[in-house]
Amino acid sequence: MTFHLQSVLRLTPRHCLTRRRCVLPSTFTSLFPSSSSIATMCHSCACKIGPSLLASDLSCLKDEALKVVAAGADYLHLDVMDGHFVPNISWGPPVIKSLRPHTKAFFDCHMMVSKPEQWVPDIAAAGGDQFTFHLEATQDPLALIKQIRDAGMKVGLAIKPGTSAEAAFPYVELVDMVLVMTVEPGFGGQSFMADMMPKVETIRAKYPTLDIQVDGGLGPSTIDAAAKAGANMIVAGSSVFKAADPKAVILQLRHSVEKLGNGKSDDQLTKL
């Protein structure tokens, strides 16, 4: 099987959250390019904080989104739940579409849905910038990755707490981001699962320039563990939206990632 490079592999540097992409006019015959070739196109992963709108006051969603963007958010995290892959139902493309005219913020759409393939066209049309699907929800990740690329979106790959880091390895070089869930997906306000951090460490050790996102229970009391493990994309819900000063919380999260990030060892940390 062969694909055009522009159809499968995102060549925008992984540290960039942008609504535009850079594609080289060439093809490849091996579905999995070497990690060294990707590294030449990417810089070290940068810290990015994305408030989860699921934790906002849904009665004034637009205002809540604009509030955290003004407070320094790097992107907005939108959880789409279908009531099947996870028990809850949140929102879908119409809500995303209604928000799109009000902000140029990067929309990271976390698709907690069965049959994610059916959602790609509508999420793209609504203005989604990144389509993050669960590895557990599809039988053909490669075809789904290509479909998302062809729809003009970045690709995120999410794994639930019960899924190993190694299960994602065959697809990492074809996606822009890996999301390691630090709670069971489907509910907000759960406690951070610190025992997921070895999974983050494993992925970071193998892919030093990859965007690694963590989602669930992240806030000032848990950010250091995630940052030290190597996560650089932080989804924060209640800790930001319920804060008296969201800007201060975002700054605190960013400071921890920038100081402790990239999977530094205890010995390295003592030298900071």
Q: So which residues are the catalytic ones?
A: 79, 215
- Which residues are bridge partners to 236 per DSSP? 51
154, HSE (Cβ side, Cα atoms, 13 Å) = 25
Burial class (CB in 10 A: 0-12, 13-18, 19+), 247: middle
Which residue shows structure tokens 């907000």?
188
* Kind plus residue range of the DSSP H or E element containing 48: strand 48-51
**Closest among 192, 127, 139, 181 to 159, alpha carbons compared:** 181
Q: Which residues contact 144 (CB under 8 A, 6 or more apart)?
A: 116, 117, 120, 133, 138
